[in-house]
Structure 1
Amino acid sequence: MASSTSSAINHPSNGSQTSSALAKRILLSCWLLSITYIWIASEDSSFDTIDHEWMLDEQSRIEEGYHHHRADPLDRHANLLQEEERPPEMEGSNDTNDDDDGSSADSTKATTAHTYKLSKIPEALRPITYNECCVPAIQIDTHPTPKDMQCFGTCYNERACSDPLYPFETVELKEKYGHLRNVTSLTFKELKDRCVLHPPWLVPNVTWCSHSDLDLTSASSAAQDDDEATASVYGHVPEPGCSLASNGGGSGAWQHVFILPSAKFAFCGIPKVGITQWIQFSRFVAGAKDYPSLPHYKMDNDFFRFDKLTPSVQEEIFTSKEWTWAVFLREPAERLLSAYLDKIASVSGQEKIFDALGTNATAAGFTFDDFVQRLDMEVNETGCKVNKNDRSVLNGMTGLGWCSDPHWRPQIMSCGLFANLDRFQFVGDINNAPEHTKQLLDSVGLWESHGKHFINGGVDKEAGHKLHMCRLKSYPHNHTEHVGFQQKDEERNATAANTAYGHSKNSKDALDKYYTPELLKLVREKLYADDYRLYNLVREKKLTDGKQLAMQLSGGTC
């Protein structure tokens, strides 16, 4: 035992040599493993990146409230948008801090991704953090505070209340288009005289082409702030501004023209041809977060209304080749019936008619046949003012001309189509709205930025209470609710346009109920014959270019 121990103590070099050899073998193995790992990594350099990006994407989803029980409606909508490119800050995001477990960096990057995605959404759809309605800052010094702030003010957008640039995108646009026409008591009287009391034409002379009345190359250079100097630019069409001195009859041709200066786009709205949604779209482009609301009284609309601009700006917009003009048409008999059902057949409409005609309010009613026959009457009046001495003449409802209410005034009288059709680059059919709207907005650069993001309708109930029709909120009910401006709802196979205050009367389905063959013939061949000439070319020939349409209708004389 002692010998054995002694041997071990006396020969330590053998164990040391064994340990050294083992260490060398371990080092060699580690070196070989290292070489192998480097070779594998070089063959598939995306391995680490894929894993990291998957984790980052999952973290991003959690941060964004991807799971429905955590997400608000806007965030859900943001995730349903077309996948956008990653923000530049996130490119090459595989580096990690050795002193950190990476969770802080991932959280920051996820927040960046979320912010970037929201920046791709139009302002009107971004989260609502402000709950008031206000007079836009740009108008605070020129407009008295309205009694009904909900219907006249801009709601939910703090920028509109504090930033005098709203609703314009740039200072340059504001400087050029942010000055409205100054209507003094004197100019009001002059407009009323020219547009209502003694209009130069009660019935238009249909020519379709502008001919020498409009010189697109030189007219804009002679622009002046003088009403008479600019009147000839529009041919034999009542001058812009008539609607400022008249409601309904005598309102002229330009009452419902809306402009989007950033796109140099002018849209001729025609009552009963989807005009409400186009006004909503103009506010949507401007960033109004209450865009689904009833839009007609909103003060920020003033800057989009052609009739309210200064004469020199109006002339430039109408004559400049840089501006695109567009209009949508509707089947005339269908539109006429829609106007009757919406504006006349209602109880309040009947009461106004009976009162104006001096008849008994308990009578059988003012039927659709009565209405059409009255439109067929000859008018011997010299102006649009109500003749109190002759109650057989009902202002806006006797005959068809400039005195007619715009809801049933012939479509060709809107925006001077009867005389300047060749000025319009696009003439669409409301019955083909999905295709034509996308085509039009693509051509003016508004589809990708705004059109494809537009969502019909909005939140009309909050905390169990119904919101006022003037302050509906801008996020959608769900992702299937008509995403894309004027686009068809795939599930319902319908181009939804109704809102919480909608006034669709399903007039297309009611044609057989209200029209006799004789009445339909009167509408098609006499009362609205020129409307049908134009509409049939758009519908049957699939023509959308105003100059081509004008050439065909005028016999090639444009």
Structure 2
Amino acid sequence: LRKRSGSGSDHQNFRPYPENITIPTLEYDDLIYKKHWRDLSPVVIEEYNLIFFVVAKAASSEWKRFFMRLEGNGNWCGSGFIHKSEINGLSHLNDYSLEEAQEMMTSRKWTRAMFVRHPKPRLLSAFLDKAVGHKKHFEEQLCTSYIKSGGEHDLEYCRNHREDFDFFLRDLTATLPDNVHWMPESKRVDEKWWPFINYIATMEELAVDAEHFLQTVVSNIDNVSAWDRVGRTGWSEDERHCDNLGTSPFLGKKDTRHKTDANSKMNRYYTPELENYVEDRFSKDLNNDYFSFTPVNLFETSKEGHDIK
């Protein structure tokens, strides 16, 4: 386990406010603000002075359900379409004016947070979910997009290789690099904004870190933490059934219909060659100074942890 210390701003996941640097200016074409790329624009929870960067395949569904529940949106349970804006009702940074968003991104009063996931389990999770687990979506949408984007193989080949992890990594994701489910996490945020994201945690100890994080996010109305408000209890393995919410804490039990057990399956799907491929292609994630991934070395040929460049 990673060494952890402190319960407040001295905790390892907190990053101090950047000093002695020029405050960046938010622009219309910044990744975090682009109007046509809502998935990259972070969620804004005004009552808690919180900006949260939701990362696909890093418990994104669970986080959206949490924020929906925190804001009193009854659709947080029972709905399978929580990623649709008309269902989740969540505000994003690009819903605000440039001036308002600029203040949110630079003010010491706001928390700007992100939970990230190691590329190897994240990519496998995307494969097991979006390819193996959703045949219709893969064949009708991903393969069609693959062909339109100049994929090396034809439509039939793509559909026949739906359960081929090698094809998924080397061909499909390389041809469709901007899909949010597998795009590098380091590319989700403009370089100038990384110093201002002041809480960054990984998926390695998700439940523990989520509890700590939510205890530090406090309502500016009644001073109650997000954890005490809706995180401490009332969660189950399946938030699609509102009549059986359970008594577990948030993320104490993962939704079994969404969980893909990627960590336990990596040795089954990865080969030494694919591991090296991911280490090379996603080196910016593995070398990102703001992430603190524990190295994942599946095979002796793994280069991770040995100055990947």
TM-score of the superposed pair, with normalisation by structure 1: 0.42
Cα deviation, 1:230-281, whole Å, max 9, x if unaligned, reads 418x9xx435134xx3xxxxx37733x1121111011111000001111111
Flag the structure with higher helix content: 1
Q: How many angstroms does 1:329 deviate by?
A: 1.2
Counterpart among 121, 124, 128 of residue 334 in structure 1: 121
User: Which residue does 1:259 correspond to in 2?
Assistant: 44
User: Which residue does 2:211 correspond to in 1?
Assistant: 438
- Given that 1:260 and 1:266 are in contact with CA atoms closer than 8 Å, whether structure 2 keeps it comes out as yes
Q: How many angstroms does 1:372 deviate by?
A: 2.0
C-alpha distance in 1 between matches for 2:88 and 2:285? 29
- Given that 1:264 and 1:324 are in contact with CA atoms closer than 8 Å, whether structure 2 keeps it comes out as yes
User: Which residue does 1:359 correspond to in 2?
Assistant: 154
Counterpart among 533, 538, 545 of residue 292 in structure 2: 538
C-alpha distance in 1 between matches for 2:213 and 2:62? 15
Counterpart among 487, 494, 497 of residue 254 in structure 2: 497
C-alpha distance in 1 between matches for 2:183 and 2:233? 33
Counterpart among 12, 26, 33 of residue 240 in structure 1: 33
Alignment of 1:91-170 (within 5 A): none
Which secondary structure does the structure 1 equivalent of 2:114 belong to?
strand
Alignment of 1:503-522 (within 5 A): 503-522=258-277
Q: How many angstroms does 1:289 deviate by?
A: 3.2
User: Which residue does 1:350 correspond to in 2?
Assistant: 139
Q: Unaligned stretches of 5+ in structure 1?
A: 1-208, 220-229, 246-250, 376-395, 460-468, 488-495, 542-552, 554-558
Q: How many angstroms does 1:335 deviate by?
A: 0.4
Does 2:165 correspond to 1:368?
Answer: yes
Alignment of 1:194-213 (within 5 A): none
Size of the alignment, in residue pairs? 260
Larger radius of gyration: 1
User: Which residue does 1:449 correspond to in 2?
Assistant: 229
Amino acid at match of 1:518: E
C-alpha distance in 2 between matches for 1:522 and 1:210? 37
Amino acid at match of 1:410: P
Which secondary structure does the structure 2 equivalent of 1:318 belong to?
helix
Tell me: CA distance 1:420–1:503, structure 2 relative to 1, closer, same or farther (3 Å). Answer: same
Which secondary structure does the structure 1 equivalent of 2:156 belong to?
coil
Which secondary structure does the structure 1 equivalent of 2:285 belong to?
helix
C-alpha distance in 2 between matches for 1:300 and 1:347? 24
Q: How many angstroms does 1:519 deviate by?
A: 1.0
Alignment of 1:186-335 (within 5 A): 214-215=23-24, 230-231=26-27, 237-238=30-31, 240-242=33-35, 245=36, 251=37, 254-255=40-41, 257-292=42-77, 293-294=79-80, 295-297=82-84, 299=86, 301-335=88-122
Counterpart among 166, 172, 175 of residue 398 in structure 1: 175
Tell me: CA distance 1:352–1:339, structure 2 relative to 1, closer, same or farther (3 Å). Answer: same
- Given that 1:331 and 1:535 are in contact with CA atoms closer than 8 Å, whether structure 2 keeps it comes out as no
Counterpart among 485, 489, 500 of residue 250 in structure 2: 485
Tell me: CA distance 1:343–1:210, structure 2 relative to 1, closer, same or farther (3 Å). Answer: farther
TM-score of the superposed pair, with normalisation by structure 2: 0.72
Larger RCO (alpha carbons 8 Å, 6+ apart): 2
Q: How many angstroms does 1:427 deviate by?
A: 0.8
Q: How many angstroms does 1:342 deviate by?
A: 1.6
- Given that 1:272 and 1:339 are in contact with CA atoms closer than 8 Å, whether structure 2 keeps it comes out as yes
